[in-house]
Structure 1
Amino acid sequence: MKSAVLAAVVLAGVVAGAPARAQHAHAAHEHGVAELRVVAEGEALVVEFASPLDNLVGFEHPPRTPAERKAMTDAEAALRNGAGLFQPSAAANCRLADVALDSPWLQGKHHDHGHDHAHAHAEPASDGHAELVAGYRFECARPAALESLRIGLFDAFPRLRELRAERATARGQGAAVLKAGQAELPL
């Protein structure tokens, strides 16, 4: 129960904290580079992905043309497929339980994370930079077997060149920089 509550709080924080992260990331806004945070506690595995929209769709302004609207819709669909983007160790028997997306230019709702409360949404920076923050919660039947996370972001978003990852698990904390072609984060 503690793990489910922690995971829900962390996932809610993904969306609620998006404006602050977007403001912080604004100073270091770097095209081709994104951030990944992974927390495993108990049966919960929570993944947070934050990226400039340019990495995902090739622009950061509101979609203006049919091609840009399609690019945004395609990116949103890919991001909602968390089980395709992130594969925890098979032996851990994890299933995707929740997805939350927040960005100023999403085609549908700003987010979809199954709770009802007021909070701020990510807004584009005054200089036109915009970011997307996505959160994923997995429930793992065998968390002790959770050794790595296979990452499909580079395949899904070819403009992404580097992923700055941080992790906190029962095995400890750490950080790594993954480049295109590196698809596995040890946990």
Structure 2
Amino acid sequence: MKLADIRPLATLVLFASTPLFASDNPGAHQHGHAEVQIAISHDRVDLIFTSPAHNLLGFEHEARTEAQKQRLLNVQDWLSTTPLINTADASCLVKDATADIASMAEGDDHEENHQHHDAPPRQRHADVEVTQVLNCPGVGSATELTTDLPDRFPGIDQLDIDWIDSAGQASIRLPSGETRFSLAR
């Protein structure tokens, strides 16, 4: 494997380490807030999206009703098949994706081993994490990217986007309703 092939993944791991340390901080889980971390290399994009489940599902407990179960399946399918960022001409395709929301499914024993299992239900927090590898022809020369996350999930009031590419790293905070962001520094 060439160094150029693993560089985006290694960079994304470095980006991702910050939320891991914040996971023990109760203030890190904020309804209405979500984050996307992106590493861009040539036509490849590696990304991690994290959000409180409430922003995406409208609830944070296991899916109980048929409507909640269907919502969970629909959200998991959308997060696994839809590029969470895209070029202006929508050229990105999902090559690989993992949407970690299975712990919200009814009967999942994940909660038995979860660090909050002794907490009363009102204090439990469920976060969704999605990883994607995208093939995005032309993304290396793009000056602007888009995301459908705020349109698809109106519970996201604020989306923080961090990225790294051949020109360096930068970040932006998209307010509610914004779907485009400039890669200019």
Query: Quick check: TM above 0.5?
Result: yes
Percent of aligned pairs with the same amino acid: 25
1:6 paired with 2:7, answer yes
Shift of 1:90: 3.1
Call closer, same or farther: CA 1:35–1:80 in 2, change over 3 Å: same
| 1:86 counterpart letter in structure 2 | I
Shift of 1:80: 1.4
Distance 1:178 1:22 in 2: 21
Distance 1:58 1:181 in 2: 18
- Tell whether the 8 Å contact from 1:52 to 1:129 is kept in structure 2 after alignment: yes
- Tell whether the 8 Å contact from 2:9 to 2:46 is kept in structure 1 after alignment: no
- Tell whether the 8 Å contact from 2:22 to 2:28 is kept in structure 1 after alignment: no
Structure possessing the higher radius of gyration over alpha carbons: 2
After superposition, the C-alpha distances for 1:51-98 in whole angstroms (9 at most, x for unaligned) are 000000011111111121112111112211323x4212439x543211
Call closer, same or farther: CA 1:3–1:107 in 2, change over 3 Å: farther
1:54 paired with 2:50, answer no
Distance 1:34 1:57 in 2: 13
After superposition, the C-alpha distances for 1:5-58 in whole angstroms (9 at most, x for unaligned) are 3345567x59x9799367246432111111111111233211211000000001
Structure 1: stretches of 5+ with no match in the other structure: 111-121
Instruction: Name the count of aligned residue pairs.
Output: 171
Distance 1:58 1:129 in 2: 13
User: Superposed, which structure 2 residues align to 1:7-156 within 5 Å?
Assistant: 7=8, 20=20, 23-24=23-24, 26-83=26-83, 85-90=84-89, 93-107=91-105, 123=114, 125=116, 126=119, 127-156=123-152
Shift of 1:131: 0.1
TM score, norm. by length of structure 2: 0.76
Distance 1:139 1:39 in 2: 12
Shift of 1:106: 5.0
- Tell whether the 8 Å contact from 1:162 to 1:180 is kept in structure 2 after alignment: yes
1:178 paired with 2:177, answer no
Structure 2: stretches of 5+ with no match in the other structure: none
Call closer, same or farther: CA 1:143–1:157 in 2, change over 3 Å: closer
Call closer, same or farther: CA 1:7–1:174 in 2, change over 3 Å: closer
Task: Report the aligned-residue RMSD.
Answer: 3.2
